[in-house]
Structure 1
Amino acid sequence: MDVYRRRTGGAGRTRARRAAVAAALAGGLLLAGCSGGTGADRTAARDSGKGAPHAPAPGVPAPAPGAPDGRQRPGAEGQHDEAREAPPAGHLSTFALDVDTASYGYARRTLADGRLPAPDTVRPEEFVNSFRQSYPKPEGDGFSVTIDGARTPAPDWSLVRVGLATRPADRHGERPPAALTFVVDISGSMAEPGRLDLVKESLGVLTDQLRDDDSIALVTFSDEAETRLPMTRVEGNRDRVHDVVDALETTASTNVEAGVTTGYDTAVEGHRKGATNRVVLLSDALANTGETEAEAILERIADERRAYGITLFGVGVGSEYGDALMERLADKGDGHTTYVSTSEQARKVFVDQLPAHIELRARDAKAQVAFDPETVETHRLIGYDNRRVADEDFRDDRVDGGEVGPGHQVTALYAVKTRPGALDRGGRLATATVRWLDPASRAPHERSGALAAGALGGRLWDDGTAPGLRVAAVAAYFADSLRGGELPGAPSGTELAERAGALARTTESAVVEQLAESIRQANRLRG
């Protein structure tokens, strides 16, 4: 196959259509989860001041939790001089930041196809993080910290929302050049409509969006892997890249191991100092040839990540999708995953998300929430099962956290049972702290926010409660129901659909209406 063949007249017309699409999308909204605000977000902006960095809840100071030995760590921004004793065991919660959204996207696709998603593919934090919130923008390149909550119908149970956000990228400002290695699955299963055709369309549009000083490489894999294009500067080579993309055709089986290994070899060979070096895996992740277990593949990713700082972005496609493998690969590669099933979703990912998020804001980011034992009886982090971190490792910067780019948000929801009468007595309920390393210098930084017990006076479903918090609650309750769980205060399926529909009408948000429709579909499938 001549992957460098000249473009035909038909391909030229395709190129013209791509240019029109790219122009139309240049100012478009981002995909939910990494995107511009919805109606819910704009309304919630009125309520987003609680717990902002260095802005304590009324009457409550907001020091960051002290180090395990009670001393403040040097060089960690955002800490106060007042040291606090660490809460007793069971009152700390620590997790690595996660901006994945693939689980929600795949669940929506599965429900639309008339099937309930398998419980082990449902990750509640990815449902919650698929909806944009109106958290305040931080100053500088760190995080803002927002913490709020509301009471649920279950006695003494509340939902507490911890929100972390980075400053968006300036689309017209400077960013480091990108060195992107695309690893494309061309196995037989990718012949299904909405797989390879969607990938080719997306890569074609992206090629026209990248800057002249960016670089791109392309690796394909089926039963074996092949480097179709070594790392190549975009300037003067856009037609060459288009030719390679246009020539992609499906062949045989799915050797993900070969694709990932060759992809990282190509990325290392074309590694650019001072650039953001990233591998982008586009696949249905249905490995059936070579090493099909994740561990062997993961070890290679870990080695190259440590040596070269190459991160992995996984883009899943297909009605049948190896969700668990893709998620583990991205986690080990210090990256994140998303899932696309339509041209609109794919264009938003590749036109808006990827170019805007090439730059990193934070490395090895972790969050720790300290609950006051005098106020809180017990708590439960909703989701983040694969992202938990030992409490004592929060300030151990050798322990991996999450890699976070510009404009990213992370939302964590907790089901919190307060002690009888504690909300009326006042006092502190929780302090949330985020710790991260500067991407360039690896210097540690921290920011904190606090929540007073009295701030939980509102009821979750009241109109006065922030719409963004209510949307997050609907997403979390929905995910938990698909896993067979039973969160305290959970509405019935019918009531949850009604709550989501009402929020969609109030906020005029299309993505919230899509959530409501997915809940209705799940209700119909359950009978």
Structure 2
Amino acid sequence: MSDEFDDLKRAFDSAMPAPDAAKRAANLALAQENFAALQGSPSAPRPISDAPKMGGFGKGLRTMFDALSSKAGLTATTALAAFGLVMVLPVLQYGPPDVFTQEPAVMIEAPIMEQAEDFAVGAIAQDAVPAPAPRMMSKQANRTRVAPTAGLVADAPMIMPEANTEAFASAPENSLKVTSETPVSTFSVDVDTASYAIVRASLMNGQFPQKAAVRIEEMVNYFPYDYAAPESGAFATSLAMMQTPWNENTQLLRIALQGEMPEIEARPPLNLVFLIDTSGSMNQPNKLPLLKQSLRLMLGQLRAQDQVAIVAYAGSAGQVLEPTAASERDVILGALDRLAAGGGTNGQAGLRQAYALADQMQEEGDVSRVLLATDGDFNVGLSNPDTLKDYIAEKRDSGTFLSVLGFGRGNLDDATMQALAQNGNGQASYIDSLPEAQKVLVDQLTGVLFPIASDVKVQVEFNPATVAEYRLIGYETRALAREDFNNDKVDAGDIGAGHQVTALYEVTPVGNETQVDALRHNAETSDGPNDELGFFKLRYKAPGQAESQLIEKAIPTTLAPDRELEFAAAISGFGELLRGSERLGVWSYSDAVSMATASRGEDTFGYRAEAIRLMRLAASLSE
């Protein structure tokens, strides 16, 4: 049996058959018959209910494509494509597109069967004009015009400014006193300087400070004066008097104290606890970062026998650095660098832990102090100054003092800071710049940290025979009752090593025009000599002592003016202008500038020159 290859070989080997005309004619006839049969439409299949799966989907696709292939369908798809370009291209081109309003397409009313043959729903009229593609703007226009974003881009959320929650310790301005009715004036000393720094920060920001933020005694005491050092004892007094610049009927009386400055080698060892606010509100350049830089400056002033510890508070208190010798600078700086702002503020919890750490560090003869650095935002825990008063006073009596450094603006709680510092026998300072940190924590550090006297009180008894009226300028928040002067249980301010205290009285000599009419039946009760304006008394306690000491001195009527008083008067008038006082009459910022410039004197650190610039700035802002 042969296979297929044998058959194929025999076919190739056989001779080609001769042409057959009859067979050719038959094949052509069959081809024509088949061609004619294919030109007609086949008979429709008999409808059955068993359709294959997905058959309806395929049929629907065929129907849709058949419909879209018609002239009306092509018109519709062209219109839809053009509309899509109108929606997309405005976002892609550089400038705003030309606005085009397309006429609405008209629907052709047709019998239902005819509509089914075309679209099965309705046909879009073929005469509806398709939307043209938007015209692109020229390149030159694109260089000078910006596409409007209204309606295309959502409005950016509005950033609301933070609420200003600053609170300042203040009291009504001291009233004028008639000497024959109220001859005695009593107040606690104040060495705080926070108010001046706050005033400066406000003016440098182009706005006037709040009137409550202006405490004139703190502005006057911000500046160093050329007072004589004490020859013996803790204090030296300095008296002077001049014509009042803004009232020809009155005179300005200055009563000043100069504290002794012990040698650095004689200072006792210092135990210092930094209590640092690391709450979320401290996360600003002029707060925690400035705080770190300020404490870096301070470390260079400490000695090897001094100790430093760090406690942070932000929601919950925590010890950051255990008691460490000040000579281990790298360890202390490393702990400072690890501090970061975040969380709420629990000031009281931090205070308790800081005091506990200070008690642990305390040794006989040491000076222990908690240095609270904060923006004053005690928004968690006990923040009422009255609530903290007893606790701070208790720790003060046990030998641990408290000073406060304020940073930043916006939520500065000056009232709480003042209450804490006053009850902690400490000083409240506001740090708004690194130069201010240099002043407080380097140049005047000894006075800030080492007290030479506590519960320092001043009392002046004016002589009705020579003084008709008087008023104390400033010290409104430091006023004491007359009987408090001899009561050693009544707390008052402290004075640190080398500190100065300046107080100004505006007095009306007898015979000059007064603001209050004298009583018709008032009897002269003064038995004092007519060569005295009054009598000055000072009470203070030496460090660690419970019983006060008394210093007394007569105030003569023959006091002379000096340049230091003139500059203090210019600063006092500047403060009263900022508070809007009506006692200055027509005296202005320009007058303050002239007076301060004339009495500027030696100005080693440039503080007085800065004050003059602030006066000039205030004059410009007031116009």
When normalised by structure 1's length, the TM-score is 0.76
Residues 315 and 345, structure 2, Cα contact 8 Å, conserved in 1 = yes
1:452 is displaced (CA, Å) by: 2.1
Aligned to 2:183: 91
Percent of aligned pairs with the same amino acid: 34
Q: 1:263 aligns with which of 344, 354, 359?
A: 354
Q: Residues of 1 paired with 2:281 and 2:607: CA distance?
A: 29
Q: 1:197 aligns with which of 289, 304, 308?
A: 289
Q: What is the correspondence of 1:20-59 to structure 2 with a 5 Å cutoff?
A: none
Name 1:430's counterpart in structure 2: 534
Q: Is the 1:219–1:259 Cα contact (8 Å) retained in structure 2?
A: yes
Q: Give the whole-Å Cα distance in 2 for the aligned partners of 1:327 and 1:132.
A: 22
Q: 1:376 to 1:421 in 2, by over 3 A?
A: same
**Deviation of the 1:344 alpha carbon:** 2.0
Q: Do structure 1's residue 516 and structure 2's residue 612 form an aligned pair?
A: yes
How far residue 509 of structure 1 moved from its aligned partner, in angstroms, is: 7.1
Correspondence list, 1:182-331, <5 A = 182-235=274-327, 237-306=328-397, 308-320=398-410, 321-331=412-422
Quote the residue 2:263 is aligned against: 170
CA distance in 2, matches of 1:502, 1:147: 21
Indicate which of 429, 441, 449 corresponds to 2:553: 449
Tell me the SS of whatever aligns to 1:209.
Answer: coil
- Count of residue pairs brought into register by the alignment: 428
Of 487, 495, 499, the residue aligned with 1:408 is 499
2:442 match: 351
What displacement does 1:168 show?
Answer: 1.6
Q: CA 1:493–1:186 in 2, change beyond 3 Å: closer, same or farther?
A: same
More contact order relative to length (CA 8 Å, sep ≥ 6):
1
Residue 614 of structure 2 aligns to a residue in which SS? helix
Q: Deviations over 1:355-374 (max 9, x none)?
A: 46533211111111111111
Q: Structure 2 CA distance, aligned partners of 1:186 and 1:129?
A: 30
d(CA) in 2 for partners of 1:128, 1:139: 25
**Deviation for aligned residue 1:512:** 1.5
SS at match of 2:564: helix
Stretch moving more, 260-269 or 275-284:
260-269
3-state SS of paired residue (2:336): helix
Instruction: Determine if the alignment matches structure 1 residue 154 to structure 2 residue 247.
Output: yes
3-state SS of the aligned residue for 1:394?
A: helix
2:581 maps to 1:485: yes
Mean Cα deviation higher: 471-480 or 188-197: 188-197
- Per-residue CA deviation, residues 69-114 of structure 1 (Å, 9 max, x unaligned), is xxxxxxxxxxxxxxxxxx9651111111110000001110111011
| Contact map agreement 2:240 2:562 (CA 8 A) in 1 | no
Distance 1:414 1:210 in 2: 39
One of 375, 389, 408 as aligned partner of 2:466: 375
Q: Are the counterparts in 2 of residues 101 and 130 from structure 1 also a CA contact under 8 Å?
A: yes
Q: Distance in 1 between matches of 2:619 and 2:266?
A: 48
2:225 alignment partner, SS class: coil
Q: Which runs of 5+ in 1 are unaligned?
A: 1-86, 457-464
- Counterparts in 2 of 1:93 and 1:489: CA distance versus 1, 3 Å: farther
Deviations 1:188-247 (A, max 9, x none): 222211221121122223334311211111111122221212333335x43322221111
Structure 2 letter corresponding to 1:491: W
One-letter amino acid of the structure 1 residue matched with residue 542 of structure 2: D
Q: Using the alignment, how far apart are the partners of 1:110 and 1:315 within structure 2? A: 18
2:369 maps to a residue whose letter is R
| Structure-2 separation of matches of 1:502 and 1:142 | 32
| 1:340 paired residue among 431, 434, 456 | 431
Indicate the larger mover: 408-417 or 258-267: 258-267
SS across alignment from 1:386: helix
Structure 1 runs (4+) deviating above 4 angstroms are 505-509
User: Take 1:291 and 1:394, find their aligned partners in 2: how far apart are those partners?
Assistant: 31
Shift of 1:266: 2.3
* Secondary structure of 1:165 counterpart: strand
Instruction: Give, in angstroms, the shift of residue 443 of structure 1.
Output: 4.4
Question: CA–CA distance in 1 between the matches of 2:566 and 2:341?
Answer: 44
Q: Is the 8 A contact 1:415 1:487 kept in 2?
A: no
Q: What is the CA deviation profile of residues 109-164 of structure 1, one whole-angstrom value per residue up to 9, with x for unaligned ones?
A: 11101121111111110001011112211133421111211122524311110001
2:224 aligned with 1:120 = no
Structure with larger Rg: 2
Separation in structure 2 between the aligned mates of residue 522 and residue 272 of structure 1, nearest angstrom: 50
Contact 1:225 1:259 in 2 (8 A): yes
Q: Which stretch of the first structure deviates more once superposed, 290-299 or 387-396?
A: 290-299
Residue in 2 aligned with 1:131? 223
Q: Secondary structure in 1 aligned to 2:294?
A: helix
Distance in 2 between residues matched to 1:419 and 1:297, nearest whole Å:
46
Instruction: Give the distance between the partners of 2:388 and 2:448, measured in 1 at CA.
Output: 25
8 A contact 1:147–1:432 mirrored in 2: no
Shift of 1:438: 1.4
CA contact (8 A) 2:219 2:571 kept: yes
> 1:468-527: CA deviations, max 9, x gaps?
101111111111222222335772122222322343478687211211121222222232
CA contact (8 A) 1:110 1:319 kept: no
* Offset of residue 454 of structure 1: 3.3
Does the Cα contact within 8 Å between 1:415 and 1:488 map onto a contact in 2?
A: no
The answer to whether the 8 Å contact 1:285/1:322 transfers is yes
| Counterpart residue identity of residue 493, structure 1 | Y
Aligned counterparts of 1:509 and 1:452: Cα–Cα separation in 2: 34
Q: Distance in 2 between matches of 1:508 and 1:227?
A: 40
For 1:24, the equivalent position in structure 2 comes to: none
Contact 1:156–1:417 under 8 Å retained in 2: yes
The one-letter code of the counterpart of 2:587 is P
Amino acid at match of 1:323: D
Q: Deviation of residue 383 (structure 1)?
A: 1.0
For residue 282 of structure 1, report the CA deviation from its aligned partner. 0.8
- Secondary structure of the residue aligned to 2:368 is strand
Equivalent residue for 1:496? 592
How far apart are 1:269 and its partner, in Å?
A: 3.1
Deviations, residues 244-278 of structure 1 (Å, cap 9, x unaligned): 11111111233333332332232233333311111
RMSD value, Cα: 2.3
User: Residue type of the partner of 1:122?
Assistant: V
Structure 1 residues 506 and 133 mapped into 2: Cα distance closer, same or farther (>3 Å)? Answer: closer
8 Å CA contact 1:365–1:435 kept in 2: the answer is yes
Corresponding residue for 1:14?
Answer: none
Distance 2:585 2:362 in 1: 51
| Aligned residues of 2:563 and 2:601 also touching (Cα < 8 A) | no
**Contact preservation (8 Å) 2:472, 2:504:** yes
TM-score (structure 2 length as normaliser): 0.65
* One of 196, 199, 204 as aligned partner of 1:104: 196
Structure 2 residue identity aligned to 1:156: N
Secondary structure of 1:339's counterpart equals strand
Cα separation, 2, equivalents of 1:114 and 1:490: 24
Task: Give 3-state SS (helix, strand or coil) of 1:455's partner.
Answer: coil
Kindly indicate whether the alpha-carbon contact (under 8 Å) linking 2:286 and 2:432 is maintained by their aligned counterparts in 1.
yes
Cα distance in 1 between the residues matched to 2:548 and 2:231: 16
